[in-house]
Amino acid sequence: MSILIGIDIGGTKCAVSLGETESENLRILAKKIFATPDRDPNAAIQKIISLIWELARENKLDAGEISAIGIACGGPLDSDRGVILSPPNLPGWDNIGIVSEIVKIFKTPCGLQNDANACALAEWKFGAGRGLRDMVFMTFGTGLGAGLILNGELYSGANGNAGEIGHIRLAEYGPVGYGKRGSFEGFCSGAGIAKIAREKIAEKLQIGERPAVCADLAKLDSVTAKSLAQAAEAGDKLAIETYEESGRMLGLGLSAIVDIINPQAIIIGGVFSRSRELLWPRAEEVLRREALGVSLKACKILPAGLGENVGDYASLSVAQYELEKAQAGTRR
């Protein structure tokens, strides 16, 4: 049995989790959450350290019983050096060497990964990707990113930026995502789906129509992927068309991943997990038309096995990954 600590750093809140692994299963024992201090990374790190001690004390553990610590955080990061560079959702977090700070106190293996990589590790170790050697995890949340498991290893690329699929341009025109019009993220993210619908609604309002999903231009910003999913499930035509458009572009993006990487599975979380029935029919049509048949035959497209809990498992999975690397190094 291994005792793990997971640290999830977000723009509005941070979480510190205590977990244990036994027989290739992960159990979350406790979790503590606090609001991320505004522009004060040092205060956040000190709070994280105090909560680790608190979790250990409440669960009658000594610091020496902690096998490894994992940190998940939005990028950009330098995972090799354990440094948070300057994430847009964390102003003031510039070149923060968080791993060295944690190791200095707890003297145990510790690693840092971006959210997509952390979720990929979680699905690989404990979710829908268990037992696979080649898989891709796609976030499909507010934004769109991917974590890559290739040949049984997390693949980060030359400088840690592998998997930034949201930046790929799928069309000359379309919603803006990742700073690029017509990008994969622009079409296939919670924010992107809302943008697609808002443009359709604005066009309807301009010609005097009043769509049921939003009949007032002043309320356009209240349209979200969640509200659209609810409307689509109730039969709203505009909402259905919005999800179908996102689904078609999802199929196009997936076909490129299938052709380039040839994975055993592409596992998709977030919006896809919640609204698969709205996205998949059109995505599957395009994917079957565009992808190389022999590669597609070897690949399954799956919703996240951990569902909405994938985030809770992510940072603990980074800890497990660091522990396995340390153990492999010791055996050598």
Query: Strand 265-268 and strand 135-138: pairing?
Result: parallel
Per the document, the length of the chain is 332
Q: Write out the chain's pLDDT in tens, 332 residues.
A: 899 999 999 989 999 999 999 878 899 999 999 999 999 999 999 999 999 999 999 999 998 899 999 999 988 899 999 999 988 889 999 999 999 999 999 999 999 999 999 999 999 999 999 999 999 999 999 899 999 999 999 999 988 889 999 999 999 999 999 889 999 999 999 999 999 999 999 999 999 999 999 999 989 999 999 999 999 999 999 999 999 999 999 999 999 999 999 999 999 999 999 999 999 999 999 999 999 999 999 999 999 999 888 888 999 999 999 999 998 875 43
- Cα–Cα distances in Å, from 268 out to 32, 131, 137? 27, 17, 6
- For the entire predicted model, the pTM comes to 0.92
For the beta carbon of residue 206, count every other beta carbon within 10 angstroms.
Answer: 9
DSSP state of 36: P
Rounded to the nearest 10°, the torsion over CA 295, 162, 191, 169 is: -70
Answer CATH for 135-305 from 3.40.50.300, 3.30.420.40, 3.40.640.10, 3.40.50.2300: 3.30.420.40
**Are the beta carbons of 43 and 59 closer than 8 angstroms?**
no
For the beta carbon of residue 35, count every other beta carbon within 10 angstroms.
Answer: 11
- The pair of three-digit structure tokens given for residue 282, joined into one six-digit string: 């059109």
Closest by Cα among 56, 94, 99, 64 to 79: 99
Domain spans, the chain? 2-114, 135-305
Question: Which residues are within 8 A (CB) of 276 and not within 5 positions of it... i.e. 6 or more apart?
Answer: 303
**Are the beta carbons of 258 and 296 closer than 8 angstroms?**
yes
Measured CA to CA, the distance from residue 234 to residue 189 in angstroms comes to 21
2-114: what fold?
Nucleotidyltransferase; domain 5 (3.30.420)
Do the domains 135-305 and 2-114 match in fold?
A: yes
DSSP state of 228: H
Measured CA to CA, the distance from residue 22 to residue 1 in angstroms comes to 5
- Cα–Cα distances in Å, from 304 out to 138, 155, 274, 275? 9, 19, 10, 12
End-to-end CA distance of the chain: 22
* 3-class DSSP assignment, residue 58: helix
